[in-house]
Amino acid sequence: MNPPLTLVIANKNYSSWSMRPWVLLRGRGISFQERMLKFGSQEWRDQIAKLSPSGLVPVLWEGEPGAGFATWDTLAIAERLHEICPDHGIWPADPQLRARARSAAAEMHSGYRALRGAMPMNIRCSYPGKGMNDGVAKDIARISAIWAAAKRPYLFGAFCAADAFYAPVATRFVTYGVELTGAAREYQQALLASPGVKAWSADAIKETEFVAEDEPYATPPR
């Protein structure tokens, strides 16, 4: 029997990297507890070194957080879940589909830098038209092509790690008014309606913290 799992995350409104393993765990029906350390908080300053070997989130703990076994970085967490929860469909069962799913997730993990920089995740806000430039348009075109080839309802049929990796992008396109068409839009809507993404987003819009570095288009509160 596996030890209990705890996922250390940051703000749901801002932390796209935290969102990915959270919606993967929820989407594949794997029991876990969350431990949130909000950006810039005293708890973050006090606990991050104890709970994250890299000083970043997310971190998956097996057993007691800070004392059990830790895996950090979203790709590593997905692979660890594949190892310890082999019957939960983290990746597709078919070897070729599994390779494609890993390729798509890795492309998300290492690419789309223009999109990340100009359109940071901010689920509770709406900034239509903000952040668009040639580099972002190129990233959107590539993502749209991947989504348009989805095997339905998700990228490779059933919800898997690849879908979790693109979940924050689906919310970004809503925030910044990026309009998709055809099969790409159908995939985006399916992803937004998935249980894990809906639950995460519902929590995100309730948060009130303002993190200036993640709010390039907002006026800081007084």
For position 112, what pLDDT does the model report? Answer: 98
As a dihedral over the C-alpha atoms of residue 102, residue 34, residue 193, residue 89, rounded to 10 degrees, the angle is 40
| Region of 72 on the Ramachandran plot (φ > 0 left; ψ -120 to 50 alpha; else beta) | beta
- Edge to edge, the sheet with strand 59-62 lists 33-36, 5-9, 59-62, 69-72
Domain boundaries for CATH 3.40.30.10 within the chain: 5-84
Amino acid (one-letter) located at 121: M
Backbone φ/ψ region at 124: left (φ over 0), alpha (ψ -120 to 50), beta: alpha
CATH architecture of the domain with residue range 5-84: 3-Layer(aba) Sandwich (3.40)
Which own/partner pairs from 126-132 qualify as long-range (CB within 8 Å, at least 24 positions apart)? 126/174, 126/175, 126/177, 127/175, 127/176, 127/177, 127/217, 128/176, 128/177, 129/176, 129/177, 130/176, 130/217, 131/176, 131/216, 131/217, 132/176
Q: What is the DSSP letter of 34?
A: E
Q: What percent of the chain has pLDDT over 90?
A: 97
State the Cα torsion 70-99-154-77 to the nearest 10°: 0
pLDDT in tens, 29-72: 999 999 999 999 999 999 999 999 999 999 999 999 999 999 99
Residue 1's pLDDT is 81
- If we measure between CA atoms, which residue out of 138, 137, 159, 141 comes closest to residue 150? 159
Could you tell me where in the chain the CATH 1.20.1050 domains are found? 95-204
Average confidence score pLDDT of the chain: 97
pLDDT band at 153 (very low <50, low <70, confident <90, very high): very high
- What is the structure's pLDDT at 49? 97
Task: Tell me yes or no: is domain 95-204 CATH 1.20.1050.
Answer: yes
Indicate the pairing of strand 69-72 with strand 33-36: unpaired
Rounded distance, CA 117 to CA 136, Å?
Answer: 9
